[in-house]
Chains A and B, each alone.
Chain A
Amino acid sequence: MKSGKFWAWLTFGLGAAYFIVPLLATLEFAMRMRRGTYSFDAFAVVFGDPRFQQTFGYSVTAAIFTILLGVLIVVPTAYWIRLRMPHIRPIIEFITLLPLVIPAIVIVFGYIRMYGSNSALPFLGSTRGTDALLVIGYTVLALPYMYRAVDTGLRTIDVRTLTEAAQILGAGWVTIIGRIILPNVLIAVLSGAFLTFAIVIGEFTLASLLNRPAFGPYLQNIGANRAYEPAALAVITFAITWGCMSVIQMLARFAPKSANRPN
């Protein structure tokens, strides 16, 4: 037992070193900008760059629309599957897992060929259309995470009883989903939302190939042209990811663990 504990500490220590050293190194590198002394100059340069503000704002907007579209598609579907069509759950789960198998670059390649300005659905014919296609693509990428989060949330409430009670009181489907189911799984939806945010914010492939001025292509551009700013940006991005994950963990503490009557 004693030696087991030693090996456990050793494994943990080596792992921790591998994961912490790059973070420290990145921070140290970012602070080397002013010669001979450590400073936060690189961060100041980054935050003062108007392109940083524009692209970051663009990606935040894209992330918000992605979350809205994801909720709009996933919540009613997952609800309906639980309520009425549990037999097709395997099909839905299979489809929601496909984005983990089909690389993002392949999906966006398909978009470029299918939705060009001469096609039946000319998304790429206009800037707004391309923005919409980018949001749609992000929704597809986030689908596995969003679906799983919402489905886990639905498992903890008694969907059938809530629906029947609402129907007896005269509620329609929109009211049931919007005012009864959604508030009940809000915590699950929010954790899916923050994960989506973390995925979307620095995404490069889709934004770059659809030629949108998002944060990911900006990062790539800075990386190719500057020395210290990329390290500062890496630190900032890591902090954002950390923030998103912390929120998810905090939300998990408020989430109900199980239903009174699980179906």
Chain B
Amino acid sequence: MATDITSIEPGAVVRSGCPAPKPRASRMPTQWFGVAPFFLFAILFLIAPTAYLIVGAFQTPAGGFTLANVAELWQPTIRAAYWISIKISLASALLGAFIGLALAIAIVRGGLPAWVRGATLTFSGVASNFAGIPLAFAFLATLGRLGLATILLRDVFGFNLYAAGFNILSFSGLTLTYLYFQIPLMVVIITPAIDGLKKEWGEAAATLGATQWQYWRMVVIPVLWPSFLGTVILLFANAFGAIATAYALTGSSLNIVPILLYAQIRGDVLHNPHLGYAIAFGMIFITGMANVFYIWFRTRSERWLK
């Protein structure tokens, strides 16, 4: 008998001596039943389709492993598409973030009447969801060749926008259009963070003899930094995946990644289905990397705040 006891794991002895864990062991699965529908839904319709494309990006048509599809992303047209997409997303995210921040600070801290704040936040809620095709229509009616702003600038101020090199169907035009939903999104997300800046901090800093600039540099910016950065990343992903606005605005004349992928899905314009997977993989990779950066920055800044 003694030899039997040595062969039994210590945990097993404890378990046999104590009946309590038994009901927990049987409760464990029923507990998971409650979230099973959600996980099933998420796996079937979010994770599996994405994983399917990622795996496909590294497969030959016969099913073997290859890096050729991803390597083909370096051909000039596709590389150019990625580059202009990244430029537009980055420009609209950064501009949107800084302008949105300035607006949020103005309405929270600027001593403006209360209705200004209310109106701005309401409008931001609307405008941040006013994207897609109607937004393209609105900007064509404003800054297109026959748009109101174009005509007013020409007839009243004698300034011909299009002769000056502007085109709504270009990098600057698309960035300007994207700002219409990027700025409000920033305002919506960052206003609560600015509200969270306690008045006492400013008073404490002033009591200790800090100048306004020192208060901003040492208190406000470190506190706002993580949410600011997080929102920039969100805005970047937001612009990077957007297709409807660009498609309605430019047709397929502006070669950005989502439009390229759209054409590929519709008609295999690249004549290689697996290259389509690689483009999708590239998009996920870029937005994914942006988030990794965000998490990394955030853990760093949190350590700093401690």
> Which residues of A line the B interface, CB within 8 A?
1, 4-5, 7-9, 11-12, 15, 18-19, 21-26, 28-30, 73-74, 76-77, 80-81, 84-85, 88, 92, 95, 98-114, 121, 136-137, 139-140, 143, 195, 198-199, 202-205, 209, 216, 219-220, 223-224, 230-231, 233-234, 237-238, 241-242, 244-246, 248-249
- Whether A15 contacts B142 in the complex (CB less than 8 A), given A80-B35, A102-B287, comes out as no
B45:A140 contact, CB within 8 angstroms? yes
Q: How far is the CA of A137 from the CA of B50 in the complex (A)?
A: 13
Q: Which of B191-199, B259-267, B296-304 contacts A (4 or more CB under 8 A)?
A: B259-267
- Whether A205 contacts B126 in the complex (CB less than 8 A), given A11-B103, A26-B142, comes out as no
A-B contact pairs, 17 of them (CB 8 A): A5-B110, A11-B105, A11-B106, A19-B184, A22-B138, A25-B149, A76-B34, A102-B287, A109-B53, A114-B49, A199-B129, A203-B244, A220-B133, A220-B248, A223-B136, A230-B137, A230-B140
B contact residues around A9 at 8 Å (CB): 106, 110, 112
Q: How far is the CA of A85 from the CA of B125 in the complex (A)?
A: 32
A contact residues around B140 at 8 Å (CB): 230-231
A12:B120 contact, CB within 8 angstroms? yes
Prevailing SS type, chain B contact patch: helix
**B156, chain A: closest CB distance, angstroms:** 14
**B111, chain A: closest CB distance, angstroms:** 5
**A122, chain B: closest CB distance, angstroms:** 14
The chain B residue with its CB closest to the CB of A111 is B49
Which residue of B35, B133, B283 contacts A106 across the interface (Cβ within 8 Å)? B283
B contact residues around A104 at 8 Å (CB): 241, 243
Q: What's the tally of chain B residues with a CB closer than 8 Å to chain A? A: 77
**B172, chain A: closest CB distance, angstroms:** 14
* Any A CB within 8 A of the CB of B216: no
- Whether A105 contacts B148 in the complex (CB less than 8 A), given A199-B129, A202-B134, comes out as no
- Whether A105 contacts B291 in the complex (CB less than 8 A), given A8-B110, A84-B34, comes out as no
Q: How far is the CA of A234 from the CA of B133 in the complex (A)?
A: 8
B contact residues around A81 at 8 Å (CB): 35
B141:A110 contact, CB within 8 angstroms? no
The chain A residue with its CB closest to the CB of B39 is A95
